[in-house]
Amino acid sequence: MTRTTPKLAPPPQISTSYQREGVWPTPSEDLNSIDGFYVGIKMVRSQEPYTFKPVEFKNTLFQHFEIGNLNRYTEYSIVVQAYNSMGAGPPSEETVARTLEFDRPNPPIMRQYFATSKTLKLSWETNNHPNAPISGYILYHRTEGNHWQETHLTGDRTAYTLHDLQCGSAYSFYLVAFNSAGRGNGSEIISARTDGSHKCLEPILGANLGCMGGLLPDLLPELLQQFLSFASSMVKLEDDTITQYTMAFAQTPWLVEFTMAQ
Protein backbone atom coordinates (compact mmCIF):
# COMPACT_ATOMS: atom_id res chain seq x y z
CA MET A 1 0.00 0.00 0.00
CA THR A 2 1.34 3.40 -0.97
CA ARG A 3 1.88 5.79 1.91
CA THR A 4 0.75 9.40 1.70
CA THR A 5 1.40 12.36 3.96
CA PRO A 6 -0.74 12.32 7.13
CA LYS A 7 -3.93 14.29 7.41
CA LEU A 8 -4.50 17.36 9.55
CA ALA A 9 -3.44 16.83 13.16
CA PRO A 10 -5.81 17.99 15.93
CA PRO A 11 -4.75 21.12 17.85
CA PRO A 12 -2.96 20.50 21.16
CA GLN A 13 -4.58 21.22 24.52
CA ILE A 14 -2.06 23.06 26.67
CA SER A 15 -1.82 22.49 30.41
CA THR A 16 -1.03 25.25 32.89
CA SER A 17 2.55 24.32 33.70
CA TYR A 18 5.51 26.63 34.16
CA GLN A 19 6.96 24.66 31.27
CA ARG A 20 4.87 24.16 28.18
CA GLU A 21 3.18 20.81 28.32
CA GLY A 22 0.43 19.70 25.97
CA VAL A 23 -1.64 16.73 24.90
CA TRP A 24 -3.77 16.00 21.84
CA PRO A 25 -5.95 13.01 20.93
CA THR A 26 -4.43 10.40 18.67
CA PRO A 27 -6.06 10.61 15.21
CA SER A 28 -8.52 7.75 14.77
CA GLU A 29 -7.77 7.46 11.04
CA ASP A 30 -4.56 6.58 9.18
CA LEU A 31 -2.77 5.33 12.29
CA ASN A 32 -0.49 3.22 10.11
CA SER A 33 0.55 6.29 8.13
CA ILE A 34 1.87 8.24 11.14
CA ASP A 35 5.46 7.90 12.33
CA GLY A 36 5.43 10.86 14.71
CA PHE A 37 4.61 14.52 15.18
CA TYR A 38 6.37 17.83 14.85
CA VAL A 39 5.52 20.35 17.57
CA GLY A 40 6.13 23.96 16.57
CA ILE A 41 6.43 26.74 19.13
CA LYS A 42 7.18 30.47 19.03
CA MET A 43 6.38 33.57 21.08
CA VAL A 44 3.14 35.29 20.11
CA ARG A 45 3.66 38.36 17.89
CA SER A 46 7.22 37.26 17.16
CA GLN A 47 8.39 37.61 13.57
CA GLU A 48 10.57 34.52 13.97
CA PRO A 49 9.35 31.24 12.43
CA TYR A 50 8.17 28.27 14.48
CA THR A 51 10.82 26.09 16.06
CA PHE A 52 9.81 22.45 15.53
CA LYS A 53 10.68 19.52 17.77
CA PRO A 54 9.92 15.88 16.86
CA VAL A 55 7.67 13.86 19.17
CA GLU A 56 7.63 10.06 18.89
CA PHE A 57 4.27 8.53 18.02
CA LYS A 58 2.79 6.41 20.83
CA ASN A 59 -0.02 3.95 20.36
CA THR A 60 -2.13 5.49 23.12
CA LEU A 61 -5.33 7.56 23.24
CA PHE A 62 -3.38 10.79 23.67
CA GLN A 63 -0.03 12.12 22.54
CA HIS A 64 2.08 14.18 24.92
CA PHE A 65 4.94 16.65 24.74
CA GLU A 66 6.86 18.93 27.07
CA ILE A 67 9.11 21.87 26.20
CA GLY A 68 11.26 23.55 28.83
CA ASN A 69 13.56 26.57 29.03
CA LEU A 70 10.81 29.03 28.15
CA ASN A 71 10.33 32.58 29.42
CA ARG A 72 8.12 33.09 32.45
CA TYR A 73 4.73 34.72 32.07
CA THR A 74 4.99 34.78 28.25
CA GLU A 75 2.45 33.84 25.57
CA TYR A 76 3.47 31.16 23.08
CA SER A 77 1.85 29.92 19.88
CA ILE A 78 1.94 26.14 19.34
CA VAL A 79 1.03 23.95 16.32
CA VAL A 80 1.28 20.21 15.64
CA GLN A 81 2.02 18.36 12.40
CA ALA A 82 1.90 14.60 11.85
CA TYR A 83 4.65 13.14 9.66
CA ASN A 84 5.83 9.89 8.06
CA SER A 85 8.45 8.81 5.53
CA MET A 86 6.60 10.72 2.80
CA GLY A 87 6.78 14.02 4.66
CA ALA A 88 4.76 16.17 7.03
CA GLY A 89 1.04 16.76 6.90
CA PRO A 90 -0.66 20.14 7.28
CA PRO A 91 -0.30 21.88 10.64
CA SER A 92 -3.06 21.97 13.21
CA GLU A 93 -4.88 25.10 14.28
CA GLU A 94 -2.79 27.45 16.37
CA THR A 95 -3.08 27.14 20.16
CA VAL A 96 -1.99 30.07 22.35
CA ALA A 97 -0.90 29.53 25.96
CA ARG A 98 0.89 31.60 28.57
CA THR A 99 3.61 30.27 30.85
CA LEU A 100 3.04 30.93 34.53
CA GLU A 101 4.67 33.75 36.47
CA PHE A 102 6.24 31.44 39.07
CA ASP A 103 7.31 27.86 39.52
CA ARG A 104 5.66 25.65 42.11
CA PRO A 105 7.51 25.68 45.46
CA ASN A 106 9.98 23.02 46.47
CA PRO A 107 9.03 20.79 49.39
CA PRO A 108 9.83 22.22 52.86
CA ILE A 109 12.45 20.51 55.04
CA MET A 110 11.01 19.22 58.32
CA ARG A 111 13.44 19.82 61.17
CA GLN A 112 12.23 18.95 64.68
CA TYR A 113 9.30 18.77 67.03
CA PHE A 114 8.59 19.35 70.72
CA ALA A 115 5.88 17.32 72.47
CA THR A 116 3.72 17.65 75.56
CA SER A 117 0.80 15.44 76.51
CA LYS A 118 -1.64 17.54 74.46
CA THR A 119 0.47 19.48 71.94
CA LEU A 120 3.09 18.96 69.25
CA LYS A 121 5.21 21.86 68.00
CA LEU A 122 6.70 21.35 64.54
CA SER A 123 9.39 23.43 62.84
CA TRP A 124 10.69 23.45 59.27
CA GLU A 125 12.94 25.26 56.81
CA THR A 126 11.92 26.72 53.48
CA ASN A 127 13.46 25.28 50.35
CA ASN A 128 12.39 27.91 47.82
CA HIS A 129 14.15 30.01 45.19
CA PRO A 130 13.35 33.45 43.65
CA ASN A 131 11.21 31.95 40.87
CA ALA A 132 9.13 29.98 43.36
CA PRO A 133 7.89 32.19 46.21
CA ILE A 134 5.76 30.61 48.93
CA SER A 135 2.26 31.99 49.54
CA GLY A 136 1.33 29.51 52.24
CA TYR A 137 1.51 25.99 53.62
CA ILE A 138 -0.86 23.11 54.19
CA LEU A 139 0.01 20.95 57.19
CA TYR A 140 -1.38 17.41 56.98
CA HIS A 141 -1.65 15.36 60.18
CA ARG A 142 -3.38 12.22 61.36
CA THR A 143 -3.28 9.38 63.84
CA GLU A 144 -2.75 5.85 62.55
CA GLY A 145 -5.71 4.53 60.58
CA ASN A 146 -7.51 7.89 60.32
CA HIS A 147 -7.92 10.36 57.46
CA TRP A 148 -5.49 13.22 56.91
CA GLN A 149 -6.59 16.54 58.39
CA GLU A 150 -5.50 19.86 56.86
CA THR A 151 -4.34 23.04 58.60
CA HIS A 152 -3.73 26.07 56.34
CA LEU A 153 -0.85 28.35 57.35
CA THR A 154 0.58 31.62 56.02
CA GLY A 155 3.80 31.61 54.02
CA ASP A 156 5.84 33.43 56.67
CA ARG A 157 5.51 30.59 59.20
CA THR A 158 8.41 28.27 60.03
CA ALA A 159 6.78 26.58 63.03
CA TYR A 160 3.33 25.60 64.24
CA THR A 161 1.84 24.02 67.37
CA LEU A 162 -1.08 21.60 67.20
CA HIS A 163 -3.29 21.67 70.30
CA ASP A 164 -5.92 19.39 71.88
CA LEU A 165 -4.21 16.18 70.78
CA GLN A 166 -4.60 12.77 72.41
CA CYS A 167 -1.99 12.08 75.05
CA GLY A 168 0.38 9.18 74.52
CA SER A 169 -0.58 8.94 70.83
CA ALA A 170 1.47 8.73 67.66
CA TYR A 171 0.85 11.26 64.88
CA SER A 172 2.12 11.52 61.29
CA PHE A 173 2.81 14.84 59.56
CA TYR A 174 3.87 16.28 56.24
CA LEU A 175 3.91 19.80 54.83
CA VAL A 176 3.07 21.19 51.37
CA ALA A 177 3.99 24.69 50.17
CA PHE A 178 1.91 26.46 47.52
CA ASN A 179 1.75 29.66 45.44
CA SER A 180 -0.13 30.95 42.40
CA ALA A 181 1.40 28.19 40.24
CA GLY A 182 -0.11 25.49 42.46
CA ARG A 183 0.97 23.12 45.18
CA GLY A 184 4.50 21.77 45.33
CA ASN A 185 5.49 18.28 46.34
CA GLY A 186 5.03 17.29 49.96
CA SER A 187 7.83 17.09 52.49
CA GLU A 188 8.90 13.80 53.96
CA ILE A 189 6.42 12.27 56.38
CA ILE A 190 7.57 12.40 59.99
CA SER A 191 6.13 10.69 63.06
CA ALA A 192 5.88 12.12 66.57
CA ARG A 193 4.23 11.03 69.81
CA THR A 194 2.62 13.11 72.52
CA ASP A 195 3.81 12.59 76.08
CA GLY A 196 2.11 10.14 78.42
CA SER A 197 1.43 6.43 78.54
CA HIS A 198 -0.92 4.85 76.06
CA LYS A 199 -3.59 4.68 78.76
CA CYS A 200 -3.55 8.22 80.04
CA LEU A 201 -5.09 9.07 83.38
CA GLU A 202 -7.04 12.04 82.09
CA PRO A 203 -10.07 10.16 80.67
CA ILE A 204 -10.42 8.22 83.94
CA LEU A 205 -10.01 11.30 86.11
CA GLY A 206 -12.36 13.27 83.91
CA ALA A 207 -15.07 10.65 84.34
CA ASN A 208 -14.60 10.34 88.11
CA LEU A 209 -14.19 14.06 88.87
CA GLY A 210 -16.54 15.55 86.31
CA CYS A 211 -19.02 16.54 89.03
CA MET A 212 -16.49 19.08 90.33
CA GLY A 213 -17.02 21.39 87.34
CA GLY A 214 -14.50 24.22 87.40
CA LEU A 215 -13.27 23.53 90.93
CA LEU A 216 -10.12 21.69 89.81
CA PRO A 217 -7.51 23.27 87.54
CA ASP A 218 -7.11 21.85 84.05
CA LEU A 219 -3.59 20.92 85.06
CA LEU A 220 -4.66 18.23 87.54
CA PRO A 221 -4.21 15.20 85.22
CA GLU A 222 -0.70 16.25 84.24
CA LEU A 223 0.28 16.92 87.89
CA LEU A 224 -1.01 13.53 88.98
CA GLN A 225 0.91 11.81 86.21
CA GLN A 226 4.07 13.65 87.20
CA PHE A 227 3.58 12.77 90.87
CA LEU A 228 2.96 9.08 90.19
CA SER A 229 6.01 8.94 87.94
CA PHE A 230 8.09 10.69 90.62
CA ALA A 231 6.86 8.42 93.41
CA SER A 232 7.48 5.25 91.41
CA SER A 233 11.09 6.31 90.89
CA MET A 234 11.63 6.50 94.65
CA VAL A 235 10.85 2.88 95.48
CA LYS A 236 14.35 2.40 96.92
CA LEU A 237 13.92 5.18 99.48
CA GLU A 238 12.68 4.68 103.01
CA ASP A 239 8.93 4.39 103.41
CA ASP A 240 8.73 7.49 105.64
CA THR A 241 10.51 9.56 102.93
CA ILE A 242 7.91 8.58 100.35
CA THR A 243 5.17 9.30 102.90
CA GLN A 244 6.54 12.82 103.44
CA TYR A 245 6.44 13.57 99.70
CA THR A 246 2.94 12.10 99.47
CA MET A 247 1.68 14.23 102.36
CA ALA A 248 3.24 17.35 100.86
CA PHE A 249 1.53 16.68 97.58
CA ALA A 250 -1.81 15.99 99.26
CA GLN A 251 -1.66 19.27 101.20
CA THR A 252 -1.64 21.50 98.09
CA PRO A 253 -4.42 24.12 98.54
CA TRP A 254 -6.54 23.14 95.54
CA LEU A 255 -6.25 19.42 96.41
CA VAL A 256 -7.31 20.10 100.02
CA GLU A 257 -10.23 22.11 98.68
CA PHE A 258 -11.21 19.21 96.46
CA THR A 259 -10.98 16.74 99.39
CA MET A 260 -13.14 18.92 101.62
CA ALA A 261 -15.70 19.37 98.86
CA GLN A 262 -16.09 15.62 98.65
Within a domain: residue 200? no
Which phi-psi region, left, alpha or beta, contains residue 145 (left: φ > 0; alpha: ψ -120 to 50)?
Answer: left
Report DSSP state, residue 199.
S
Q: How far is CA 211 from CA 142, 208, 215, 253, 260, in A?
A: 32, 8, 9, 19, 14
83 domain residue, yes or no:
yes
Please write the tens of the pLDDT for every residue from 9-25: 666 655 444 445 566 67
Q: Rounded distance, CA 160 to CA 127, Å?
A: 17
Does residue 242 form part of some domain?
no
Highest mean pLDDT out of 50-59, 147-156, 220-229, 244-253: 147-156
CATH number reported for the structural domain that contains residue 153 in this entry: 2.60.40.10
Among candidate residues 166, 194, 222, the one where a domain is terminated? 194
For residues 59 and 131, state if they share a domain: no
Identify whether 90 is part of a domain.
yes
Q: How far apart are CA 244 and CA 242, in angstroms?
A: 5
Pair (133, 190) in one structural domain = yes
Amino acid at 115: A
Within a domain: 31 = no
Mean pLDDT, to the nearest integer, of 223-240?
Answer: 55
Per the domain annotation, does 113 fall within a domain? yes
pLDDT over 50 at 39, yes or no: yes
The reply to whether 123 and 172 lie within a common domain is yes
Q: How far apart are CA 99 and CA 83, in angstroms?
A: 27
Whether residue 117 sits in one domain with residue 95 = no
3-state helix, strand, coil in the chain (%, to 5): 20, 35, 45
In this structure, of 13-17, 60-64, 145-149, 168-172, the range with the lowest mean pLDDT score is 13-17
pLDDT for 230: 56
Does residue 113 share a domain with residue 94?
Answer: no
Does 113 lie in the same domain as 89?
Answer: no
**117 pLDDT higher than 80:** yes
| The predicted structure's pLDDT at residue 211 | 39
Which domain does 71 fall in, by range?
36-99
Query: How confident is the model at residue 200, as a pLDDT?
Result: 64
Same domain, 43 and 88: yes
Domain count along the chain: 2
Residue 214 lies in a domain: no
Note whether 114 and 189 are same-domain residues: yes
Q: Which of 194, 214, 233 is the last residue of a domain?
A: 194
Residue 1 neighbours by CB under 8 Å, 6+ apart: none
Q: Is the pLDDT of residue 108 over 90?
A: yes
The answer to whether position 199 is within a domain reads no
- 89 plus 142 within the same structural domain: no
User: Which of 164, 194, 224 delimits the end of a domain?
Assistant: 194
